[in-house]
Structures are given as structure tokens and as C-alpha cells.
Structure 1
Amino acid sequence: MLKSCKCRLSGATNAQMEAMNECPLDPGGYFIINGTEKVILIQEQLSKNRVIVEADEKNNIISASVTSSTHERKSKTYVTMKKERIVLTHNVLVEGIPIVIVLTALGGLTGYEIMHLVAGSDEKYQDEFLINFDEATKAGVFTQQQALEYIGSRVKMGSRKGQFGPQVRRNSVEEGLDALANLVIAHVPIEGLDFYPKAIYVAMMTRRVLMASQNPKLVDDRDFVGNKRLELAGQLLSLLFEDLFKRFMGEVKMSIDKFLKKNNRAVPLDAVHMISNHANTIGLGINRAIQTGNWTVKRFNMNRAGVTHVLSRLSYISALGMMTRINSQFEKTRKVSGPRALQPSQWGMMCPSDTPEGEACGLVKNLALMTHITTNVEEAPIKRWIFTLDTGVEPIRNLSGIEIHREGSYTIHVNGTPFALTRYPNRFASRFRTMRRRGWISPFVSININSHFNAVHIATDEGRICRPYIIVKNGKQKLKAEHLKLLQLGKAKFDDFLTKGIVEYLDVNEENDTLIALDEDEITHSTTHMEIEPFTILGAVAGLIPFPHHNQSPRNTYQCAMGKQAIGAIAYNQFNRIDTIMYTLVYPQRPMVMTKTIQLIHYDKLPAGQNATVVVMSYSGYDIEDAIVLNKASIDRGFGRCQVFRKYTTELQKYPNGRRERIGDPQDEMSGDTKHRQEKYEALDDDGLAKVGYQVESGRVMVKKETPLDLTTTGIGMDRGPSEYRDSSVSYRISDPAYIDKVMISQTEKDTTVIKVQTRQTRCPEVGDKFSSRHGQKGVVGIIVGQEDLPFADNGLTPDLIMNPHGFPSRMTVGKLLECLTGKASIVHGRKDYGFGDAFGPHPVEEMGKVLLDHGFSWEGKDYFTSGLTGEPLEAYIFNGPIYYQRLKHMVQDKMHCRSRGPRVILTRQPTEGRSRGGGLRLGEMERDCLIAYGASQLLVERLMISSDAVDIDICQQCGLFGYKGYCHTCKSTREVARMTMPYAAKLLVQELISMNVGVRLQLEDEFPHPE
């Protein structure tokens, strides 16, 4: 992975990065496989080893489930309550086991002890749980031996395989013991044969179910962020490596066993040679997984597709947005609103604006700024700390049910497993946090008190999202002005604030246990923390929008999608790259109105847009429905001009018989007599490759590649002539001409030559190209007008762009008006850092108005304009100013398509589909319905048959089957065979039905019947 600790770029300074021809602003975090940049997306999962209580709609069936994940296996255990009876189910058990039998088997507990372990001394829980003892009595289970026999007889036979072949069947008690020890709730360890900790865990799950039946509010929310864990590249790769390593060990063992079984061995065992034979199992497996995106781990039944994607390099921001994307495993096709909804627990952890439209809405999310995803912290030291922190802490395995559920007792859970008991939870949590702030405990270990379940939860596991907050004590924040001064001077780092206990990281569960102020004015005596900056609840992509809190929320979501499609600068080394397709803006500018996020992510150094002088007025009918009017002079000066780079690749293959593909001599073709043939090869240099700087048109050859005809004959003969090679040249296929920008020749690992040719097109905006501001206001160019015909202000200013005012009322993008006003004030003031449009910051409208007044402009941003067409003054003052506009990748030149005749699909004989294949224009179902509604039947026939796949067919009028050349094979006659025109697809359908034993008979009528 780039910029990881094993990468050369790790810790490199900007100067060192530049010396290596790398971009210092490149975020890293992706892999390069066969020259393609691949990124492993963050995967969202339900947390492992945690109890989640769920209920059906009517609260009839309540179940507590836990997914146990250990190194060996992953399995799910359910404790379910239905009609007051509670059973434990697991996929190794044939049926649900009554909960009393499970608890009897786990601890050899008496009925009295079981009752207290589950319900304590609380009568309402005791009454509800009492009925479950009947189930054990009916089954005749009273002792631990009987309980183990009962469970063992219900274990599936094929559930456990031995190390060498199938498991030998043991007696029921052993089966039951083994299932309870290793399969049911596998993550709770068993020391010796002490099952009591597991009994406490099952009792806790049962109690949670009872509590949820009494109070439906205690049912868990699956979509709560605290119940989720994020899997990063490291976790996914470690799972994959472990699986591949075990497979590698298995293969080596099998091959050694196979060798040792031979009785008459001629050579001694060479173990090193055998290991080296399988050495590439791991490397190939990891490469294949990253390349295809299919993650398969057999032990965990994990089979996921689409884990890795090609890194989007459309713009700098699209690459950055992809690195922070969170992918949910939820099915996108299901129309369920719950997992898609914006959760209050996502505040500050996930960006509320950056999510796609359509079926992935709310399922694909993005991380907010300043978030941190935790890695695993070892449990053992934390468990030792628990007993040293406070005197009142006792280990839970030594306590009975009455002591555990005594009023005022709180269970301490470490990663979801009950571990100890305390009578003073607040004192314990306070001391734990003090130790964490002093740096004696990892800053990413969280602690929170849950008063509903009388529990203190400590989490050290990986995949939790957390973010930093300033600590507030006794109504005063710990961060002082001198600390910030040290930070600005470079004498302190952010990590120093962590170790000094000024700032701390909180995860979602611990946030529920705190009172957080948004700014200093909101701090009260009970406040525990303060936000560092409110704008950090947004992500990197939404942070580009100025004044987002003044826009209607969907507009910010639209901008998040369009900001990734904006053409701009990709990286400092963008001209060293050869991408499949790359768009770059010729004159990118930093925005006039900035946000702090723009500076944090360095968007001002690699921007994707230009500051356009915008006049808001209606100008002709060419600006209807968000279309924009462009100034021709601005385009000539370089507004919106972009370059499109395309890559053409070919590899000179090596064949098994020793023959190779080669680059031919273009002079052989230039000597041809036809002018067309000479034009085809005119772009080639003497070496058979295109000349750099040459303008190529459609059909011109760029690489004169030749493939040998004979791929089977071996042996090295004389030098073969040109007749033994066929032409397989690489040609330029696009209708608009382009220039050859680069030609690169390189070697691959397989010792073959690879040739890459890059073409360059410079494009100016034209009618139909798409532009958008940073507020989700997209529009196409409606007309390009000369500067002399545009309105001008009394100081001679003419706009670059005219926008229709009807785009504001329904969209409610007030942020765009504020951007215009702030940008204008910062221009007249001559300060580039003046306009800051941070989210949730105050907007100094009065201050901006005052600046404009001081420089001789109207305080509301309006000016006196004169019509360029008539020379008369316009009847109203016109609102104008600079607005940052992005040119999007959707251009008319890439979408324009027409066709008369062209290629057809061999199977159906209908025109091909798609612009790249020269396909036909589809007349769809809705268009067909329109033609039917009009009654234009002949037009339907013409579109759907004559212009598509009409074919003349012989049909026998007697039997209704197809004939051939005027002869019916069924009737053995030519007398009744008629010829008619029908769509080829219909003829194909009839034949396919016949092949499936469905007879289709066609009855013919005369189109123009004879009068009798």
C-alpha cells in the first residue's frame, strides 16, 4: 500500500516526493496492481462479540443474538423468546434448547441459582421466567449430566470434522460438552472445565430478552453507529493472508505426505524444494483478490464481491472522496428506509451530505473530517488495570446471581463480555478516564456507563469510529491561547495535546455519556467536552461548499456528486501519468470564497474550477431551465478550456513456438499506389510508431503492429517475409482529431514489449457542455454570445456568464447569493483570504455590504447595467459578482451520436447498441406506446421492422411452419408456400420455442383480399 510503513514514500518530505516524481499531495492508501491503482473500500459490519436484541413488529418474538468471532470460526447464537418460552438456537444444534437446560448444563446450577442468575431478586422478571422451568421438567432434565445428554443428542453430526477426515461419533455427554465449550458463544473462553463465565453470559442474554419484553424501548437499534464496526484494508488483508497461509501449509503437507507414502523412493525428501513449489500461493491469492475485488475466506463463509475498486482519478477531490468512502453490506435493491436514514449517532462521524442518489442512497457513506478508526488494543493490560483503579471492583466469576443483580451493582463488560462488578460506576469511569488522559491507557480505549442495564462498557476492539474533543472541566475548557500559539509556531503537535489531557478521542458509545458544547458560549457547569470546530461534521467533499448551512440539504448532496466530476488538476505529476482517460483544466483557479476544509485538504493547490463573473438576469430564451449564456470573449481568453488525454495500449505477444509480434516498417505501406493508403500511415515515424506532436484523424494508424500467421510450427528458420505476418495495427477511432502527446515503450514481467500512445485534445466550451456552481446548480451552455452583445456595467464590466434568476426561488440556494456577495467584497478589498464561507459560521452580510459601500459599490451587490444590443439602460439594478464554476466531464463531443446504416448483431440481426460500437438509436417501450396512441401503425412497422431487422421468410399456409427456398419440408410440397416479411427476432423466437418442444403455427391472411 502506498505511504504505508513498508512503502518507500512513507514519511518522505515534499522535496523527497518531488525528487521521486511523486505528488506530495497524493493521499496514498491504495495499491498498484499491474499498473492499475486499486483501493480497498472501508466495509461496514455489525459488531462482533456484542449482544444485539431485536423484536418483531408486534413484540411477540424477541431475540438476543451474538456473532462470536474467534481465530478458528465465526458463528451466531440466538436466545429467543416466543410465547413466554425462551430457547437457545445455534446452527450446530438441530433444534432450540430450552434455556434452563442450557444453564443447567453450563454450571450444574440448581433451579434456585438459575433463577437468581437470570432475574436476580426482581419479582417481575422472576414471574415471567418461571414458566421456563416447566420445559426442563417435561424433558426430564434435572442434573448437569442429563442436560449435557439432552444437548449432545441434538448436535448435528456433520457440524464438526476432525483434523484428519470425519469426526468419530462420541457419546452424547462428550458431544454436548464439546458443543458448549467450543461452538456456542465461542468467544467466551473456558478455563479448565469452568463454564460459569459462559453461564453468566447466557443469563445476561436471557435477562436482556426479559427486559425488552417488559419495556420495548430497550430493543437495540441495528443502525446505531455504536453497534457498527468498520473494516479497513489491514483487517481484510490479514483475514485473507491467514486463510491463504493455512491453505499453503495444507498444500505443502499434502505434497510431503504424498511423497512419503511412496515405498520405493529414488531420491531423498527435499522439503525446501516442495515449499518453493507452492511459494507463490499467498502472493497470487492476495493479488487476485485485490485485482478482482472478490474476497473469499472459506473458514468464515465470507464471500464478498466489489471490495476493491479502481481509484477514480477524474479529479483530486474524487480520489480523496473514494479513500473515505464507507461501503455497506446491505442489499442495495431492497427498498428499506431504516438503514438509509440519517442517524443522530452519525453526527461528526459520517458526512450528512455526501451520499449518492438512487439505490445506494444512505448505504454508501463517507467519513467526516477528523474521524479516526480504532485498531485493536490488547485486552489483558486493561483487565489488570480494572482491579488496580478502584477498591470496589470484584471479579464476576466469584459472585452469585443475587450479588450480581443487587441494587446499585454495575457489571463491567470488556468488549461485551461480563468481567467484573463495581458498586461505584461513576468513580470507576472517572478514574479510568484520568488514566487514559495521562497516557497510561491507549487514547482509543472507550468507557461508558449504561444505566438501563446497570453496566459499564469498556471497548478496546478495532473498527470503532471516534473523533477528538476539547476536554472541559468545571465549566472551563483546557485548551488555552498559549497552547494554540505553540501549535502555530510548530513547537507542539496535536499528539502533544492528547498526552497532556487537553484533547481526547470519544467513540459513539462514550459520546452518549457526555455533554458536548458546540462553542464556548454554550459551556455550562455540567459540560464535559467542547467541539474543536463545528464544520468538521462534514466530509472532505462537502467541505468545499461555501455557506452550506444556507442551502436546502439536497443541493449540498448534489454538489458532493458533481464536485467529483469537475475537471481540474489531478496531481502535481499529472503530465507524467498515462491514464486511460484524463481530463485537465488549462487555467484552474483557487476559489475567491474559501472554506477551512479547502485549506486542510489542499484543494486550493489542485483546484477544479474558475471564478466566473456572473450576472443574474434573464437574457433571451436561451437561458431557460438552468441553461447558461457564455461570453465568447471569455472562452477565447481560456474560460472553461480543458484538455482530454486518452491512452492506447498494445503488447507485443510472445507465442509458444518462439514467434513474436513485431512492429512493421511503414515504408512498405507508403509505397502503395492509393492516396488513401498513404494517408492511413502518414502519422507514423520510421520506427513504425506515431510521431509526437502529429495531428491524427479517425482511421490513422498509431502503432504498426504485425502478428505472425503461423503460431504452431517450431524451429528457427530463415528471416520470414512480410507475407507471413498479418496487419494488427492500433488505429485512432474517434471522429474529432487529436495530437500525439507521448509514446512510451516498456517491458513487462513476462519479457514482452508494451507500447503506450497518449493523445491530447484541447476543447473549448460549446453549446450543450455542462457547468455547475458549488451549490448543486447545474446547467448546460444554452448559447455563446459575443462580448459586444452582452450587457455591460457603467465601469465597463461585462459578465463571463449570465444565469437565469428563476434558478433561485425553488432551489433555495441562498449560499450561492452569499458566495457572490462575499466574493465581490473580497475582490474590491484586494484580499485573497477575505472570503471564508465555513459551515455554521456567522455570515457578516453587514460587513460585506460596508466593504462594498467603501469602494463605491452598492451594499446589496447590484449594479447599473446597459443593454449591449440596444444601448439603453436596463430597467432594474442587476445582481452580479464572482461565483466559482466547475466544468463537468459531460461534454457534447463525447455524447453526440447519429447513424443511418451500420453494424448489426449477428444473432438477432438488429443494430448494435451503444455509441462506441456505432449503434442504432433505441425506440423504447414508452416511445412505442406513443406511436400506438397516435395510431401511426405504418410508422411503427417502419421503425420496429423495416429499419431494424426485416427478413423475407417462406411460410407454408397449410401447416403454418417455416419453409426453405419455396419448399415445405413438413408437407413435402411447394404448392402452399408463401413469402412474407417479418422481424428476424420474431423468426428466431419461433425457432427457439420449437427447439423447446413448443409448436408455433403461423396462420396467414391476404393483406389485400380479392373481392368475391
Structure 2
Amino acid sequence: YVQCFCKLVKGLVKQHIDSFNYFINVEIKKIMKANEKVTSDADPMWYLKYLNIYVGTPDVEESFNVTRPVSPHECRLRDMTYSAPITVDIEYTRGSQRIIRNALPIGRMPIMLRSSNCVLTGKTPAEFAKLNECPLDPGTFVFKFLLPILAYSVKSSSAKEHIPSVWFLLLAQSNLFLNSVRLSAVTTSLGSLFQCATTLSVKNFLLMSSLNFPCLSNILGVIRDHQKLVNTFRIMRRAGYINEFVSISTNLSDRCVYISSDGGRLCRPYIIVKKQKPAVTNKHMEELAQGYRNFEDFLHEGLVEYLDVNEENDCNIALYEHTINKDTTHLEIEPFTLLGVCAGLIPYPHHNQSPRNTYQCAMGKQAMGTIGYNQRNRIDTLMYLLAYPQKPMVKTKTIELIDFEKLPAGQNATVAVMSYSGYDIEDALVLNKASLDRGFGRCLVYKNAKCTLKRYTNQTFDKVMGPMLDAATRKPIWRHEILDADGICSPGEKVENKQVLVNKSMPTVTQTPLEGSSVPQQPQYKDVPVTYKGATDSYIEKVMISSNAEDAFLIKMLLRQTRRPEIGDKFSSRHGQKGVCGLIVPQEDMPFCDTGICPDIIMNPHGFPSRMTVGKLIELLAGKAGVLDGRFHYGTAFGGSKVKDVCEDLIRHGYNYLGKDYVTSGITGEPLEAYIYFGPVYYQKLKHMVLDKMHARARGPRAVLTRQPTEGRSRDGGLRLGEMERDCLIGYGASMLLLERLMISSDAFEVDVCGQCGLLGYSGCHLCLRGRLPSLCLLPSFPPLQQINKPLEQIAGAACS
């Protein structure tokens, strides 16, 4: 049943696609009708009238007025917006003539993938492959320069009211929310405001001044029996006379009945319960499975209905069929539908502490895996891919519904729950070196580098020069070793830090010179190469040469790094138990069970009692039984494989009922004194790797303005000793450490200061003209002191003494 519902709603994006389709097919025509005629005060006989408006299919202009269809993949590669032309039919007057023009372009509209105007609509998986698209991609937008647009739209915070008053009017007939023009909700005088704030504290006063008023709506009528109205309304909705997304709810405190039909409300389907029996029977389910019925038939026949949050408050919803009583009005279709997509991926979430499930919902989005079938054909800004992703041994129904098995993000690791060497404290993991050699946790990091060759207004343009040759050996210099003869790096080459990817040169003068100024006959060029900046070496995966929407020459390079797990990399199970790699041990020193299996990961058992992730313990049992049986187990929320059945499977294969094994130490060769909890758990490698975060510097660049070390890892910056750290050092009396940190290693420089007037001088003071020579002092940067007119005499005396 849930599968049929997901087919109807097209995965997770039906509301977005339907909204976009409605806008480009209906709403845009309404906007045109509201502004369809333009007149002129100068000529009363002249007018311009819009007759119709269309949004076409995505295309790209190859030459003047010559267009061709374009695919989303091509737009991604060429840094273009996946958009379609907006054309109108207009009618206007020219003198006494009435002229009609059709298909006049007035702009472009970004097109959502899989919408009605997209080229992917109605395509088969084979046709998706021809277009270099993944059939599992739900659909999104392809924008050019999306991040800079978002960054420029951020505004600085302005002064706010102490007690903001925002009122909304609900117009029930037009389904619009309007912001009411109202100055303030607080009517107390200024004096009484401060008096209340002093007496009650500002926090309590603000809480007391927040008054709740019901939304002002248009009153449609007055009734005596509100329950009869609600029941009649629901009967008409179930019969199909009212749209299924219109809800009705009662508020006894306001003595009102609210009818909601506005967009944006979260509506969930429920099975209707009549006379303590669900309306959907086994016969209906068989017809649904055989294809004789679909989800819409259930809606039209009054077997299932949508409820929003307000109407759910008036209903008594049962989670299971055996819990239905005389007051039950609805039944959940499946208990696991209470959870979202991220929480639905967790096996046995009802056995975990709630914060752990919340953590996994966040970390599941950071896990590496497979992003799509077309991941090898894309040149994205940054991609993290797992080299050998696997299906989880313990699945959920949500995993099957969203096709997570086809694009997994993790690996099944054999885990031994035991303490080892002290490097596994605080959730740290001990990894098997042989497992890493075989590909466990190995990932690929793809980054792109690009440059454009532009044409300028003075008829000059950028160039790509060939590699520079060494005068003695006649071979390319080290920075240009990977360049071909055309000045562009070669695919497959290994690139190191500060090596050149594209040997680009641009003219020194790019503006059109003024009249009368001298212009050189041959333009002069300066080198602006595209260099590689990275702590580790990369390999050039592919090079693409094309043009963008401005018809500028575009060169894109995809760089690849293959990384194996190292100490400090972050891992996580599907139960919110994250931890870094604390130690990598050779397989010879790892413990092994009596069947000769060595674990991939050793986890400290102290991570279970405080986290209370019982679901992880059950997943290990179910995964172990599934490996022995050769089948997948289910850990769906509020259901799944029973622990008793899983344990009986283990006994049938000759294993311990509790999943424990007899383990021998790899160091001493002696059996361990306790049985070890041993089995497979699905682990995710997260994108947080120590190679991207580790930073230290002994010396480096300084900022010109402040003379202090630069900030940030990418700028080779220093580690700032902040104000609170300074206070700690002052409290401990570490004066020499403060001097070294805040001046010598920061912005210290030598300067000549006059000891009489405190001004700067060189070989004598130019102000007081005394014979006393200036003193050479080591001072921190003092422009802020000069800005407040602070003389340096006292500072100079202290520094030079």
C-alpha cells in the first residue's frame, strides 16, 4: 500500500513539481491577465495588450536566433542555467493599424527537472542513460552561480523592536495571508515599561507581553450544532464533493470551526475506521496488489482520507489494528510512516534513545556513498564517493521504498565489542589494517578546477600559453611538468601543490582607451595561471573544453584523490554512535574467533550503557543471522525481525544464542577470559576527514593592514589566541608567554620612537628638534592608538627601558 502511495506522490518531490507545473501553466497566465493591457497618456489611441503567454522547453542559443534543445547534464558541465524561453502573443497599435505578433520572447524561466516542460518527463531508464541522467534522481534545479547569488542576498541585521508585533489576516474566501498594517501591540507608556522591566526582569516581561489572539478570519456563518456540520462536511469530502485536501477542525476554546484550504499544510493519509473495523479489508489489498485498484480509488471510495495537523487533534488514531476501540476514528497505514526518510533508514529505532536517532538523521546526510548512476560523468565542485559501497544486511521498508539499496552509503563491517589497547576510549575505533588494504572505508574525493578565456572590449582576449622550457635541459620546468603543448594539463597526470593546471595569460589593458591616449600596437600580457592548491597530491581525472552561456572559452578539470582511512577520520553507525579512528592495527595483532575471522572494527563496550543504543545490539544479532542464512533481515520501526527468531537462527547454525564468540588474542595467542559480542554492523564513513582539517604553522604570511598572521587554513593562517585565552594566561601569571603570543609571534616590529614627545622619528625627532636620539623599540602594531590620538611616549618608555 505504501509503495502505491509513493508511486502516486512520485517519491518525495510531488508537491514541488506540481506547484511548479501549476505556476508555469496556470499562475503565469493569471499574472498576465491581471496586467494584460498597457495604455499611454500621451496617445489615448495607443495600447499594448497581452493575448497569451507560454513557457517553452529548455534550449540553448548556438548562434544568432539559432537554438537547439539542451539537457540538464550539458547545463551542469557548461555552467549554464537549465531554463526555457518565455514567449508572449501581443496586440498593439501603430497609427491606425492593429498589429498582432506571436511568440515574442520576453525572458527565460528556470525549469525544474522532471516537470512538465523538462526533457526528462516520460523518459525510460534507457533514455535517462542516453541523456547522462540518473533515473533515481527525484529532480531539482540547475542554476548557474547559485552560491554567490545566495551570498549577495544576505543583509546585515537592523534594529528590531523589543517586542515584535506581527499580525496576519486569514481571508477564508481567497485563501491568502496578509500582513496587517499595525504599528505595535504594546500600548503601555515608556515609564511603565521600564518599571515592569525592572520589577519582573526583561525576560519575564517579554513573556507576559506576548498575547495570543486567534487569526482574524472572515465569518462564513453561525451554527448551533457544530458537530453535525463537521460530520456532514467529512461525509461530503469522502464522497468526493469536496477536495480531499480541505480540512475541517473545531476549537472549543474559541468556539469556532475552522475550514482550511491553504497550501503548505502537511497532510497524511489515514485509513478510515467504521464501527471499530478499518474500511480497507484484505480484499481491497489483494485488488491493489493485482493492479485492479490504485491509491486514488481508495480516496474516491471513502476508504482513505487526508488529515492535516489541525484535524488530527479531533481524531483518535490507532497505531495497530488490534488497538482499535470504540472511540477510534482512523488507523495508521503503517506504523513506520510516522518517521521521515532519514529516521526510516535506522534499523530498530524504537529500541534507541531519542537523541541518538536525531544524531543519525544529521550524520546520515554526511555519509559517503554513491550519489547517482551518472556520478562518473559529472564535474561537480566537490564529490565524496565511497569506493566499495554495500547494501546493509539489516534493511527497513523505508530503504526499499526510496531505493537506498541501489545508491548505498556505507559498508558492512565485522565488529568486535571489546576493549583493546586503550586507544578506543571515548568512542574511538580500532581498525584492522588488512581490511583497509582490501578497501574498507576507502573513498574518492573529486574536486574541480576551471577557468574561462574572455574577450574584452578593446578587442583583446585571454590566451593559453605553452609550457615554459628550461634553458639547459629544454624540458618543461617543474611547475609546468604536467602541461601539454597547448598549455592545458594532461588527463591521468599526477599534480602536486603549486603546479600549474592551465598556463593562462591575460592582457594588462582590458578597457577601451580614451581618445588621444597612446595605445601600444601589440598588447602586453601577464601570467595568471590556474594553479593547484592542496595538501596532498591529486590525479587529473578528465579535462573538458567547451563554452559557457556568454560564449566564453571554458576549461574544466576534474581532480581525483583516493583516500584510505587514517587516524582521526570519522565513522558512524546508523544509530548515532559516531567516533574517530584511534588506532590502526596489523591483522596479526588483531583478535580472531574460532572460525578464523578477524574483526574489521573493535569498539569499546563502554559506548553502550550511556548511549542506550539497544538497536545497534539487535542489528549485530540480525546481521549475523542474515549472513549465516544468506538473506536480509528487517529492522523496520515498530516491527522487523524478532530477536527471538534471530537467536534461534544462530543456534541452528551452531552459534551462541546471544551472538557471543570464543575469541583468541592475536598478541599472546591465548584465549580471552570473556566471550566477545561479535558480528556485522553497517558503518558509514563521514565526510569529516583529518586530512581536510589538520593545520599547523610555525611561520607564514601576515596581513598588510594589521601586520598580524593571516586567518584560515586555506590562507596558511595562524591559530588565534583569543580574549578568553588571554584572560586565562593572565590568571596564571604567564607574562612571558603572553608577550611571545601577543606580540613577538603576532605583530611585533622595530620602530624609532622619540623619548621626549613619543612620536616616530628617524635619526632625530622632527618635532621637538632635541639632540636626544630616538630609541629603537620593539612594539606591537599601534595604528589604533594613533587613531585615538594616544602619544607613544609612555609605551616607548616602557618598551625601551
TM (norm. structure 1) is 0.61
Equivalent position SS for 2:738: helix
Q: Identify if the C-alpha distance between structure 1 residues 444 and 473 changes in structure 2 by more than 3 Å, giving closer, same or farther.
A: same
Q: Which residue of 2 aligns with 1:697?
A: 496
Distance in 1 (CA, whole Å) between partners of 2:769 and 2:128 is 83
Q: Which residue of 1 aligns with 2:238?
A: 437
Q: For residues 212-251 of structure 1, what are the alpha-carbon distances to aligned partners after superposition, in whole Å with 9 as ceiling and x for unaligned?
A: xxxx9x98599xxxx8xxxxxxxxxxxxxxxxxxxxxxxx
Q: 1:528 aligns with which of 309, 313, 329?
A: 329
Q: 1:76 aligns with which of 169, 176, 180?
A: 180
Q: 1:947 aligns with which of 731, 735, 745?
A: 745
Q: Which residue of 2 aligns with 1:838?
A: 636
Distance in 2 (CA, whole Å) between partners of 1:38 and 1:954 is 46
Deviation at 1:455, TM superposition (A): 2.9
Q: 1:478 aligns with which of 279, 284, 293?
A: 279
Deviation at 1:999, TM superposition (A): 5.9
Deviation at 1:64, TM superposition (A): 11
Distance in 1 (CA, whole Å) between partners of 2:777 and 2:446 is 51
Q: Which residue of 2 aligns with 1:550?
A: 351
Q: Identify if the C-alpha distance between structure 1 residues 65 and 695 changes in structure 2 by more than 3 Å, giving closer, same or farther.
A: closer
Segments of structure 1 that go 5 or more residues without pairing to the other structure are: 41-55, 58-62, 78-89, 97-215, 228-414
Deviation at 1:36, TM superposition (A): 4.8
| 1:754 matches 2:546 | no
Q: Identify if the C-alpha distance between structure 1 residues 878 and 988 changes in structure 2 by more than 3 Å, giving closer, same or farther.
A: same
- Matched to 2:762, the amino acid is K
| Alpha carbons 2:663, 2:672 under 8 Å: kept | yes
Deviation at 1:927, TM superposition (A): 3.8
Q: 2:794 aligns with which of 985, 1002, 1005?
A: 1002
| 1:18 matches 2:126 | no
Q: 1:465 aligns with which of 261, 266, 290?
A: 266
After TM superposition, list the pairs within 5 Å mapping 1:23-42 onto structure 2.
23-28=134-139, 30-34=140-144, 36=146
| Alpha carbons 1:993, 1:1000 under 8 Å: kept | no
Equivalent position SS for 1:575: helix
Identity %: 53
Q: 2:570 aligns with which of 752, 770, 774?
A: 770
| 1:654 matches 2:455 | yes
Deviation at 1:896, TM superposition (A): 2.1
Q: Identify if the C-alpha distance between structure 1 residues 686 and 490 changes in structure 2 by more than 3 Å, giving closer, same or farther.
A: farther
Equivalent position SS for 2:366: coil
Q: For residues 902-931 of structure 1, what are the alpha-carbon distances to aligned partners after superposition, in whole Å with 9 as ceiling and x for unaligned?
A: 111000111111111111122333443443
Q: 1:519 aligns with which of 316, 320, 345?
A: 320
Equivalent position SS for 1:646: strand
Q: 1:992 aligns with which of 784, 787, 791?
A: 787
Equivalent position SS for 1:698: coil
Deviation at 1:94, TM superposition (A): 14
Q: Which residue of 2 aligns with 1:868?
A: 666
- Matched to 2:120, the amino acid is L
- Matched to 2:750, the amino acid is D
Q: For residues 635-666 of structure 1, what are the alpha-carbon distances to aligned partners after superposition, in whole Å with 9 as ceiling and x for unaligned?
A: 11100000011110111121110111011122
Distance in 1 (CA, whole Å) between partners of 2:147 and 2:707 is 39
Distance in 1 (CA, whole Å) between partners of 2:166 and 2:711 is 52
Distance in 2 (CA, whole Å) between partners of 1:860 and 1:596 is 26
Q: Which residue of 1 aligns with 2:436?
A: 635
Q: For residues 190-232 of structure 1, what are the alpha-carbon distances to aligned partners after superposition, in whole Å with 9 as ceiling and x for unaligned?
A: xxxxxxxxxxxxxxxxxxxxxxxxxx9x98599xxxx8xxxxx
Q: 2:290 aligns with which of 489, 495, 499?
A: 489
Deviation at 1:548, TM superposition (A): 1.3
Q: For residues 457-490 of structure 1, what are the alpha-carbon distances to aligned partners after superposition, in whole Å with 9 as ceiling and x for unaligned?
A: 2222222221110001111101111222233233
Q: Identify if the C-alpha distance between structure 1 residues 744 and 65 changes in structure 2 by more than 3 Å, giving closer, same or farther.
A: closer
Q: For residues 13-50 of structure 1, what are the alpha-carbon distances to aligned partners after superposition, in whole Å with 9 as ceiling and x for unaligned?
A: 3333233221111121x32221659999xxxxxxxxxx
Q: Identify if the C-alpha distance between structure 1 residues 584 and 1008 changes in structure 2 by more than 3 Å, giving closer, same or farther.
A: closer
Q: For residues 386-426 of structure 1, what are the alpha-carbon distances to aligned partners after superposition, in whole Å with 9 as ceiling and x for unaligned?
A: xxxxxxxxxxxxxxxxxxxxxxxxxxxxx932112333333
| 1:537 matches 2:338 | yes
Distance in 2 (CA, whole Å) between partners of 1:452 and 1:561 is 38
Q: Which residue of 2 aligns with 1:971?
A: 768
Q: Which residue of 2 aligns with 1:912?
A: 710
Equivalent position SS for 2:315: coil
Q: Which residue of 2 aligns with 1:112?
A: none
| Alpha carbons 2:777, 2:796 under 8 Å: kept | no
Deviation at 1:1003, TM superposition (A): 5.2
Q: 2:539 aligns with which of 739, 743, 746?
A: 739
| 1:4 matches 2:108 | no
- Matched to 2:114, the amino acid is K
| Alpha carbons 2:170, 2:217 under 8 Å: kept | no
Q: Which residue of 2 aligns with 1:809?
A: 609
| Alpha carbons 1:957, 1:1003 under 8 Å: kept | no
Q: Which residue of 2 aligns with 1:956?
A: 754
Q: CA RMSD in A?
A: 3.2
| Alpha carbons 1:619, 1:804 under 8 Å: kept | yes
Distance in 2 (CA, whole Å) between partners of 1:670 and 1:773 is 53
Deviation at 1:676, TM superposition (A): 9.6
Deviation at 1:980, TM superposition (A): 1.2
Q: For residues 265-302 of structure 1, what are the alpha-carbon distances to aligned partners after superposition, in whole Å with 9 as ceiling and x for unaligned?
A: xxxxxxxxxxxxxxxxxxxxxxxxxxxxxxxxxxxxxx
Q: Identify if the C-alpha distance between structure 1 residues 221 and 508 changes in structure 2 by more than 3 Å, giving closer, same or farther.
A: farther
Distance in 2 (CA, whole Å) between partners of 1:641 and 1:221 is 57
| Alpha carbons 2:469, 2:475 under 8 Å: kept | no
| Alpha carbons 2:176, 2:262 under 8 Å: kept | no
Distance in 2 (CA, whole Å) between partners of 1:941 and 1:452 is 67
Q: Identify if the C-alpha distance between structure 1 residues 590 and 38 changes in structure 2 by more than 3 Å, giving closer, same or farther.
A: farther
After TM superposition, list the pairs within 5 Å mapping 1:604-619 onto structure 2.
604-619=405-420
Distance in 2 (CA, whole Å) between partners of 1:73 and 1:494 is 32
Distance in 1 (CA, whole Å) between partners of 2:327 and 2:309 is 19
Distance in 2 (CA, whole Å) between partners of 1:640 and 1:911 is 37
The structure with the largest helix share of the pair is 1
Distance in 2 (CA, whole Å) between partners of 1:5 and 1:706 is 45
Equivalent position SS for 1:826: helix
Q: Which residue of 2 aligns with 1:575?
A: 376
Distance in 2 (CA, whole Å) between partners of 1:802 and 1:94 is 61
| Alpha carbons 2:754, 2:761 under 8 Å: kept | no
After TM superposition, list the pairs within 5 Å mapping 1:270-419 onto structure 2.
416-419=217-220
Deviates more, 1:605-614 or 1:912-921: 912-921
Q: Identify if the C-alpha distance between structure 1 residues 821 and 801 changes in structure 2 by more than 3 Å, giving closer, same or farther.
A: same
Distance in 2 (CA, whole Å) between partners of 1:418 and 1:765 is 65
Distance in 2 (CA, whole Å) between partners of 1:429 and 1:947 is 75
Q: Identify if the C-alpha distance between structure 1 residues 969 and 64 changes in structure 2 by more than 3 Å, giving closer, same or farther.
A: closer
Deviation at 1:736, TM superposition (A): 1.2
| 1:783 matches 2:583 | yes
Equivalent position SS for 1:659: coil
Equivalent position SS for 1:564: helix
Q: Which residue of 1 aligns with 2:70?
A: none
| 1:981 matches 2:743 | no
Q: Identify if the C-alpha distance between structure 1 residues 938 and 868 changes in structure 2 by more than 3 Å, giving closer, same or farther.
A: same
Deviates more, 1:487-496 or 1:688-697: 487-496
Deviates more, 1:756-765 or 1:973-982: 973-982
Q: For residues 843-869 of structure 1, what are the alpha-carbon distances to aligned partners after superposition, in whole Å with 9 as ceiling and x for unaligned?
A: 611111111000100010100000111
Equivalent position SS for 2:229: helix
Deviation at 1:815, TM superposition (A): 1.1
Distance in 2 (CA, whole Å) between partners of 1:5 and 1:970 is 79
- Matched to 1:3, the amino acid is R
| Alpha carbons 1:31, 1:39 under 8 Å: kept | no
Equivalent position SS for 1:670: coil
Q: Identify if the C-alpha distance between structure 1 residues 695 and 719 changes in structure 2 by more than 3 Å, giving closer, same or farther.
A: farther
Q: Identify if the C-alpha distance between structure 1 residues 767 and 816 changes in structure 2 by more than 3 Å, giving closer, same or farther.
A: same
Runs (4 or more) in structure 1 with deviation over 4 Å come to: 35-40, 63-66, 68-73, 90-96, 218-222, 674-677, 712-715, 717-721, 998-1001, 1003-1009
Distance in 1 (CA, whole Å) between partners of 2:689 and 2:186 is 61
Deviation at 1:634, TM superposition (A): 0.6
Number of equivalences: 653
